[in-house]
Amino acid sequence: MPDVTLTTLNGLKAKGEKITMLTCYDATFAKAASEAGVEVLLVGDSLGMVLQGHDSTLPVSTADMAYHTACVKRGNAGALILADLPFMANATPELTFTHSAMLMQAGAHMVKIEGAAWLADTITLLAQRGVPVCAHLGLTPQAVNVFGGYKVQGRQQAQAEQLRQDAQALEQAGAAMLLLECVPTALANEISQAVTIPVIGIGAGSGTDGQVLVLHDMLGLSLSGRVARFVHNFMAGQNDIHGALAAYVKAVKDVTFPGSQHGFSA
């Protein structure tokens, strides 16, 4: 049992304290980030890009995710471990169930799944069987080929309404957390207030209940040389990685990150 549980995260939302989440893929960073106070370590399928060097997350397998989840578990000092279900692990509810079991048995406390209201039955199935689920909405990178690129989602009225409905439907289906990626700040605020479960944002402004960044991005490392608008380099002004991790936790907690320049308008 980690020190940080879903009860802890719900309590933070209830009292208006921001939740800190950071991607993590190995034991050494798991120790450093959890000791710095990061509450949720996300074993993201972004590892396909930042560790494996692919140009998308699509090549990542559940075996890859389970391997890195087990590494993170060994170094973790009390954070909640959230592991991504990779591309196509959401193809059918039964498949999702089998792949979730692999991640939970590797050390995850919760799984994250990309999709929308069409995942409601899958989320109910998992929640009823002891797998807490975080639903990832907005820019879902596994659907990059459908979107035609990594684009802000929810800018048109109809898209925004769909996202509002998806968020409510997934909460009702039993999702324990939502993650909103690259949606306009005002819409992310609305959704965060409309649901009772914690909402974590990336490129979604400062009104969500917490923030997540990709570890390599916040350490100023980039393979492609492109830096997304919502990224801040927390190594700036620090002597070492421990300083950068502490600065990230502090900036999320005191709501100095993200600033308005990191968000998107409708």
Residues that bind ligand KIV (CB under 6 A): 23, 42, 44-46, 84, 179, 181, 202, 212, 214
| Three-class HEC string of 197-244 | CCEEEECCCCCCCEEEECHHHHCCCCCCCCCCCCCCCCCCCCCCHHHH
Pairing state between β 80-84 and 177-181: unpaired
Nearer to ligand KIV, 151 or 161 (CB): 151
Q: Tokens for 170, please give them.
A: 């997934």
Name, in order, each residue with C-beta under 8 angstroms of 115's C-beta and a sequence gap of 6 or more.
90, 135, 136, 137, 140
> How is residue 74 written in tokens?
């060994």
The nearest distance, CB 253 to ligand KIV, in angstroms, is 19
Which of 39, 114, 171, 181 is flagged as catalytic?
A: 181
**Strand partners of residue 199:** 178
Contact between 184 and 162 (Cβ < 8 Å): no
CA 239 to chain centre: 27
Q: Which two tokens stand for residue 94?
A: 């039964």
181 is catalytic: yes
In terms of CB distance, is 23 or 192 closer to ligand KIV? 23
Min dist CB 239 to ligand KIV, Å, is 26
Nearest residue (CB) to ligand KIV, 202 versus 219: 202
Q: How far is the CB of 89 from ligand KIV (least distance, A)?
A: 13
* Minimum distance, C-beta of residue 203 to ligand KIV, in the bound complex (Å): 9
Rounded CA-CA distance 139/214 in Å is: 15
Are 13 and 62 a contacting pair, CB within 8 Å?
no
Contacts of residue 91, defined as CB under 8 A and 6 or more positions apart, other chains included, come to none
Q: Which CB, 12 or 65, lies closer to ligand KIV?
A: 65
**Beta carbon nearer to ligand KIV, 15 or 132:** 132
Distance (Å, rounded) from C-alpha 199 to C-alpha 80? 15
By C-beta, is 44 or 174 nearer to ligand KIV? 44
DSSP annotation of 120 reads H
Which residue in the shown chain puts its C-beta closest to ligand KIV? 44
CB atoms under 10 Å from CB of 101, counted, come to 16
**Residues annotated as catalytic (active site), given as ranges:** 181
